[in-house]
Amino acid sequence: MSEQTERRRRAIIAAVRRIPVGKVSSYGRIAEIAGIPRGAREVGRVLGQLPSGSDVPWHRVLNAAGKIHRPTDSAGGRLQVHRLQEEGVVIIHGKVNMRSFAWQNSLDEALWGPPVDLDDESI
């Protein structure tokens, strides 16, 4: 494994760790955040290589359509669904509404940032 590859791996892990509880992201988006344009497949590969007991929240990463890419009848697929629901993520017909649950989307910004100034008299 090259040094560059290892650097990208760390960047991917770091980006995934930033996804808040109750939110999700996509392989492609995580790749961008990690500074790897068109690196969606690499993100999937890195997550697939995580040790089983890892504390990295890999379950918060879905494909661009908001669907769980892994087979839902597999152990990993069921675990992912279970963890997401535990965190309050709503899954309908096997997919998540990214407009509501995607981390760092425009709606997210509108709802959670920027913070309001409670001392501002003009409000």
Measured from the CB atom, the residue of 27 and 101 that comes closer to DNA is 27
**Least distance to DNA from the beta carbon of 81, Å?**
12
Are 65 and 95 contacting, i.e. CB atoms less than 8 angstroms apart?
A: yes
Rounded Cα gap, residues 87 and 14, in angstroms: 20
The sign one gets for the Cα dihedral 7, 37, 80, 49 is negative
Measured from the CB atom, the residue of 1 and 123 that comes closer to DNA is 1
**Least distance to DNA from the beta carbon of 106, Å?**
15
Q: What residues make contact with DNA under the rule CB under 7 A?
A: 1-2, 5, 26-29, 37-45, 47-48, 50, 58-59, 61, 63-65, 69-70, 76, 80, 93
Measured from the CB atom, the residue of 3 and 120 that comes closer to DNA is 3
**Least distance to DNA from the beta carbon of 111, Å?**
23
Are 60 and 84 contacting, i.e. CB atoms less than 8 angstroms apart?
A: yes
Measured from the CB atom, the residue of 37 and 53 that comes closer to DNA is 37
Torsion-angle region of 104 (φ positive above 0: left; ψ -120 to 50: alpha; else: beta): left
